[in-house]
Amino acid sequence: MSAAAPGPALSAVFDVLFPQVCGGCGCELPVGRGAVPLCGRCRRLLAAEQRRPRGHCSRCGVPVLPEQEVPCLHCRDRDLVFASHEALFDYRGLARELLRQFKFSGRIGFARLFAELLAPRVDAVYRDCTVVPVPARGRRVRSHGYDAVDLVVRQLAAAHGCRTERLLRRRGGRQLKGLGRAQRRASIAGRLRLLRPPPPRPVLLIDDVYTTGATAGECAAVLVAGGASEVRVLTLAQD
């Protein structure tokens, strides 16, 4: 896939529309075009919000007590297609605020920040994987002008040398927010298309927010049906 970050012309337009203030506290930032719009203090606050390695089910990512078995009670009865899921953050606090600005308010400068946060984890745990973005709905891309997850994955390739490939495409679909697991699954099913066969190595799916796991599960199912040996999931936040 192309390693290009958002083009300079697009960056310039967004810089004019959204002046460089910190996404966390609103302080003015003495930075130029393309920099991450977050001050040093808020960066430290965000780092403190990052999940610790232990205390979450390694299969689905929900918080569990240390003595609970894997798979946890939550995912034991579910037929999860992906081998594992982990999230960098809980979907709350500063992480949630920045993700919302990134996804819905045109603050595409956060793509660089989220890629910076994901890259060490990808390098440490998923080095043998091909990184594949969970595709946005076409309608969302049309209304917001960009696909947030795709921007992050482009940054992973361009700035961190990750092996990435766009393998999935999604058409139409309803807004998933507020829907239950079964409704989400029905809404997503049949709308995903595999663009070409997966490479002969594990796939790491990247998404922004993991809620019920339905989206990741459907993407994983399409990839496995297409021949992927294993699908793992890494998200920015878990709701």
Nearer to Zn ion, 29 or 236 (CB): 29
Shortest gap between Cβ of 181 and Zn ion (angstroms)?
14
State in angstroms the smallest separation of the CB of 213 from Zn ion: 9
* Minimum separation from the CB atom of position 47 to Zn ion (A): 13
Look up residue 199 and give its DSSP letter: P
Residue 71 vs 93, nearer CB to Zn ion: 71
For tokens 């089910």, name the residue: 57
How many Cβ atoms from other residues are within 10 Å of residue 127's Cβ?
Answer: 10
Residue 69 Cβ vs Zn ion, minimum distance, rounded to whole Å: 9
C-beta closer to Zn ion: residue 75 or 117: 75
**Helical (H) or strand (E) element with 238:** strand 231-238
Span between the terminal Cα atoms of the chain, in Å: 29
Half-sphere exposure of 42 (CA within 13 A, CB side): 19
Contact 49, 95 (CB under 8 A): yes
CB 70 within 8 A of CB 58: yes
Please identify, using beta-carbon distances, which residue of 71 and 138 lies nearer to Zn ion: 71
Interface with Zn ion by CB under 5 A: which residues? Answer: 22, 24-25, 39, 42, 57, 59-60, 71-72, 74-75
Give the shortest CB-55-to-Zn ion separation in angstroms: 12
The nearer residue to Zn ion, 91 or 168, going by C-beta atoms, is 91
